[in-house]
Structure 1
Amino acid sequence: MKALVPIVVSLAAGLSITWALEIRHRFRQLMSCETNVTQFEFDWEMDQDELLYVDLDKKQIVQRLPEFAEQWCRPESLLAETQINREICKTNVEYFAREAGLPPEKKVAPQTMVYAENLTVLGQLNTLICFASGFYPMPIKMSWTKNVQPVTEGVSRSQLYSNEDFTFRTFSYLTFTPALGDVYSCRVEHRALTEPDTKIYVVDVNTESDTRETALCGAGLALGLLGVALGLFFLIKGNHCN
């Protein structure tokens, strides 16, 4: 997509010169479906930012950047078109697969990491994030455990997002209150993995130590500033007396 922006420069002789600044954007409408799979993905992207996606289960359009998306679509018509496109997509996938001689499915394994949303402080509510990216095809399963026991309360999952190379990424969230010694895990299952990929997050003694060290640093800084203030006070007082 190109946009031309006129720039006019006036010269002393009364002439003017006009340039055109070329701006390039990439707009992508992504529609994903598979044979024998009910999962369906449809979204609009601009420069790798998601403008909107269609949730057919809830029959709604979720706008990520309304100020841009609203300029290009009418939700009612887009929802109806998406329902039709889902069936067309599935039919086309089956047709092209047969015409190509049912080639082997492309599979790319996810890369996974687990981290806390905020600085971990014992007893303070926080969120663990399990991030899986670079996988194909779409279907992926993510689950949590706490001290080896399955956890479902406080768990939520983002939609699937597309990457530049048409692989996918997604996030799973777990709300938790850190307690010393607790062990959390995020288990990821995908067709490209020979076995589930499990990432571990341990609430250890370093969490408490880091908090204590931060407090000590803060106290030291406060004492240092107090010393500077007292020094300036006596310096000014001495000069005033002289």
Structure 2
Amino acid sequence: MELYIIILTLTVFSTDAEFEHEAFQFISCSNTEEQFYIGYNEEELWHVNFDQKTGVLTSPNFTGPMAFDEFYNRGVHAMVVCRSNLHNFKTGLENPPPEMDAPQTSIYPKDDVHLGVQNTLICHVTGFYPPAVSISWNKNSVNLTEGMSLSQYRPKTDGTFTVFSTLKFTPIEGDVYSCTVNHRALNGKPKTKIWDVDLALPSVGPAVLCGVGLTLGLLGVAAGTFFFIKGKNARDN
């Protein structure tokens, strides 16, 4: 099997305001052939004869004498580099890396959270390709092996996939759950999302304090009214 690597370098310059000219350098190699030449305006001017280890001037006579001695060593070096990369290029062409999209992950409860009441945590994984992903759950840094389920892979309109993993649990204050997702596009660096029972519980600060303040206020009004009426009755008697 022959494999070619081709590198083409163009340098554009102008002799006047109306015309542009191109000087180029062409390099190619395979497991059987080597080529290195330079040219001008799509015409070859000079190339390396690797069998005879010399440079060959190919420009027409009317261009006048031209010397490119320094390019011979450049051509030899270019072939060394080209051939040293043949294996890598061959591997890449025969086994191109697959297109991949890394997953995006989120974690949330199915229902409102109440301590001691069974609920379901959902790990939502989306936007990944190819459709092969692993999902694991932890509770307080301990791997879980029961109570989990995995939905079917669902294709999206952009060609990526979505999947859901669920975990049945009973919230206890202080517990910390995490969902870890691994996929080829993550290059061995799994993504972990954390969910904290404490953070999910409704705040008891402002609402409770407001309720307590309102209750105390009403009690104060009632007490004041009671003593006002009692004092008024005492004066009347």
- TM-score w.r.t. length of structure 2: 0.46
